[in-house]
Amino acid sequence: MSEGREDLYSNAVRAGKRTYFFDVKSTRGNDLYLTITESKRRYADDGNFHYEKHKLFLYKEDFDKFSEGLNSAVQKIEELRATGEYDAPDYVETQSNGEEHADLSFDDLED
């Protein structure tokens, strides 16, 4: 392996107006870690655009707990939607590929 950080794997997932990048990298000490990047195109008032990115670093010692937490949360969402209690709100758009997505901002989310 070369000296310094090395990209070992990259996978881009397009989801509605967002793209998620899953990148496996190695540290100088040859430890592996994962970065998850959310990218969304934003337009300025003058019509020019830039990409807004949010990045999460996930280290090997946290892989199992992160995976468990994510799977648990997704399972709960599926359970709640299956009961009919939580249907897709009006602002959810259906894409041409049949996938649904909501055009939310972080301001729409509560802590």
Tokens representing 7? 């990209």
CATH at 28? 3.10.450.700
Mean pLDDT, the chain, as a whole number? Answer: 82
- Tell me whether residue 98 is in a domain: no
> Is the whole model's pTM more than 0.85, yes or no?
no
In eight-state DSSP terms, residue 9 is E
Mean pLDDT of 87-107: 57
In a domain, 30, yes or no: yes
Instruction: Flag whether 94 is in a domain.
Output: no
* Cα–Cα dist 21/74, whole Å: 19
Residue range(s) defining the domain that contains residue 51: 6-88
Tell me, yes or no, whether 35 lies in a domain: yes
Residue 106 lies in a domain: no
* Higher-pLDDT residue of 11, 7: 11
State phi, psi for 66 to the nearest 5 degrees.
-65, -45
| Of 61, 11, 9, 10, the residue nearest 31 (C-alpha) | 61
Residues contacting 8, CB < 8 A, separation 6+: 24, 25, 26, 32
